[in-house]
Amino acid sequence: MAGQRSDLTFGANRAKRIEPLLDPTASDELDRQILEFSLRYDPQTGLLNHHAFQNALAAHLRSIQPGEEVALIWIDLLNLRKEFSLLGWTGAEALARRIAETLRSVVDDDALLGRFGARSFLVAMGAYKLGKYGRRRVQDVIDMLTPQRPRDEATEPEVATGVAFFPSDTASADDLVRFAGLAAARASYIKSRIVVAFHPRMNSLIVRDHLLEVEMRKGLDQGQFHMVYQPKVDLMTGQVLGAEALIRWNHPDLGAIPPSEFIPVAERSDLIHRIFEFGLRTTLEQAREWRDLGLALPLVAVNASAANLRADDSPRMVRSIMENIPIAPTQLELELTESLAFEDEELFTQRMRQLRAIGVRVAIDDFGTRYTGFNVLRHLPLNTMKIDQCFIRGIDRCPDMLALCETIVAMGRQLKLRMVAEGIEERGELEVMRKIGCEAGQGYLFQRPVPADEFTAFMREWPERMREFGFEYFPGLFETDPIYAVG
């Protein structure tokens, strides 16, 4: 690989090499050198292009002596699209050149440097997988890409980085590149600021994700998905305030696949929009059926992911479905993930205002997992804040968590929001949340998520069961609804 640095020098200083050839008699030689350069190098950065890097890597790996190792680092430049949107192609390429220049300055002369497509940069350098010094060298390279900087300087690169090692992970140059790419994809998914090392399980996860995506498309067409419902209970009176609708997938061969597994796959494709539409339509139709039965359920809640909200037509789609299923807009509450407020406050606010204009209620889900500040929340047109279950679990035995939840509830009151405690599973948790003034709650203590027919049965039985939780039965609170009539 010692010769590659001179190639890069040729790439970086190609104008000096070509200048003597600016002679009409040397035009053929000039064309030849330009063609040769374009076949091997990325024109903006002077780094080896995809094919040249693969060839150089394969040749180098063949020359490795026993006991030596090579780290293949894959760096994805995450904010290249944002830079393009702000400053155009010139700004995006300037950011890419900064990455290339930094890499040249921090790696050894015998390292291979390449650029794959617009946003991916690769480095092949000597480093040992099991040695702390080797791993530290890899991380040091990445740390140099994102230094602290004054505000008036250029955009700071945002990167996701993976690494794979030869021969520890594979003896194949092609697989080494692929494995490093898988690790980088994992780093991007978990939003890791440190380098993620390849693990064989990542390969099986990719295969599994592809299988789930294919089967999900079939399942949505074949009726494999259904909704289950969990009640939200007023913690002061015991009245059922509504139901949260949750999607479930029962595959004929793979069995029950949890949302925690298939939703992330759907979010990386267009399937998340089909899932949201299915969930919304099914839930509203069920709410109408409950209404026709005489079941007075004040609201039904449906989850929307950040990917759903980023779609420009999401408010129009909600409006269209509600026009076809006659139900009061205020009876629908959309639970929006806190992550989008954290990542794009402006878009999050815009979508909520569009939904509120339709008449739909809006809740922020899993509050506390992304530390959205009070200054952000007070500008959002919210109706409800749901406290994540990680704060509720064992709160009756944890004074620190109790103090934190008291602060969250007080903040919600200041913002005039309905506060809902998620994941109440024990009587002690119920008593604490009731004591600190949390208005509503849901969890297995009251009822696990169940299909619509079982939820109807729960509603019939609740007037008697509510006494188990310290709620008083108030005559007239339920009997006015035919669903609670005896028999």
The pTM score is 0.70
Does residue 148 carry a pLDDT above 90?
no
Helix axes 27-40, 4-12, angle to 10 degrees: 120
Domain with CATH 3.30.70.270 in the chain: 4-198
Work out the average pLDDT over 449-473. 91
Measure the CA–CA gap between 388 and 374, rounded to whole angstroms: 16
Beta bridge partners of residue 242, listed in sequence order: 232, 299
Tell me the CATH architecture of domain 4-198: 2-Layer Sandwich (3.30)
| Residue of higher predicted confidence among 258 and 481 | 258
Residue with tokens 């807009």: 329
Domain with CATH 3.20.20.450 in the chain: 212-484
Asked if 260 contacts 246 with a C-beta cutoff of 8 angstroms, the reply is no
Does residue 431 carry a pLDDT above 70?
yes
Residues 6+ apart with CB under 8 A from 179: 72, 162, 164, 169, 170, 198, 202, 203
Measure the CA–CA gap between 463 and 473, rounded to whole angstroms: 7
Work out the average pLDDT over 102-119. 90
Which tokens sit at 434?
């009731």
Measure the CA–CA gap between 470 and 381, rounded to whole angstroms: 34
Q: Which region among 100-114, 126-140, 291-305, 330-344 has the lowest average model confidence (pLDDT)?
A: 126-140
Does residue 263 carry a pLDDT above 90?
yes
| Residue of higher predicted confidence among 26 and 115 | 115
Q: Which pLDDT score is estimated for 465?
A: 92
Q: Which pLDDT score is estimated for 12?
A: 36
Check residue 299 and report its DSSP letter.
E
Residues 6+ apart with CB under 8 A from 412: 385, 418, 419
Check residue 442 and report its DSSP letter.
-
Comparing C-alpha atoms, which of 284, 262, 282, 281 is closest to residue 272? Answer: 262
Which tokens sit at 344?
């794009």
Work out the average pLDDT over 35-61. 88
Q: Which pLDDT score is estimated for 206?
A: 81
Percentage with pLDDT > 70 across the chain: 81
CB-based burial, 105-117: b 16+ in 10 Å, e otherwise: ebbeeebbbbbbe
Q: Could you please state the CATH topology (level 3) that the domain comprising 212-484 is classified under.
A: TIM Barrel (3.20.20)
Q: Which pLDDT score is estimated for 342?
A: 63
Average pLDDT, the chain: 84
Work out the average pLDDT over 331-355. 82
Measure the CA–CA gap between 362 and 374, rounded to whole angstroms: 17
Q: Which region among 26-35, 43-52, 257-266 has the lowest average model confidence (pLDDT)?
A: 26-35
Does residue 23 carry a pLDDT above 60?
no
> What pLDDT band is residue 73 in, cutting at 50, 70 and 90?
very high
Does residue 358 carry a pLDDT above 80?
yes
Work out the average pLDDT over 192-199. 89
